[in-house]
Structure 1
Amino acid sequence: MGLRRTEINLRRLLEAVPHQQNQSKLMHYVATLREQLDQLAEERTPEGLPRVSKAMVNDYSEKIEVTAAILAVPSEPFAWTSVSGRSPSKAEGKSIYHSPGLRSRFVSPSIVELKVINQHLSNWMLQHRCTLESTGS
């Protein structure tokens, strides 16, 4: 039995998730993946049997929910990095910089989050790839 267009699109989108750097696009990916999975789970053969096994639907669902869970984890509001590479000192709740000539910049938390998301999802996909390939699909 060949792959349906919905399943091909779902697989392509799952493959693209670890490489996506834009968090808003990742959220859109999760919503789209959920819709595609619902469509895929509802597809039936002419005999009334599901086109995709329940195990495959569960596997796809788990991958989607891992991505959604990682996106939902809040991170620290800001990460400080000074020009010299040293973090500012904290005293009495105020940031005191090591030198008045140094400027600090904000590192976007979404970049840090996306690296963590990519790493977790890549590791998860590598661990489960043998399961996907061994199903013969």
Structure 2
Amino acid sequence: MSVQVAEGLFEQAEDGARLIGSRCRGCGTTYFPQAPGCRNPDCPAPCLECAHLPQRGRLVSYTIQRYRPPPLFRMDDWTPYAIGLVDLGEGVEVMGMLTGVDLDRIVIGTSMRLVIETLYTDAARGPVATYKFAPEVTA
């Protein structure tokens, strides 16, 4: 069993991991990570509720990180990695690390799926996990 790198980002379910965001019942705006209040200045009746985000989306942008991440996102076996912006639909784009990709062959528009992977092992807490996006496997 692992702990989350930051509490409340995702949860595991029978059908896989789900990111946890917020959705405003007044205007329909969705936020990730969870928001304390609606930031839409045109919202007629701000009222946020928990929202599970889609598990799949399309890669719309990316960058390669060639420096060690800050301590919160440290990795046991650090190597350069990609961070991508994934469009999950409904006006929601989420930034996350990419996994299972060749850094020289990343393609904008690739179908991506949410996965959970261990970043590092903490002596007191054990494995510490975060969400990432991996290319969708096609049959």
TM-score by length of 1: 0.22
Which of structures 1 and 2 has the bigger CA Rg? Answer: 1
Answer 1 or 2: which has greater helix percent.
1
Answer 1 or 2: which has greater strand percent.
2
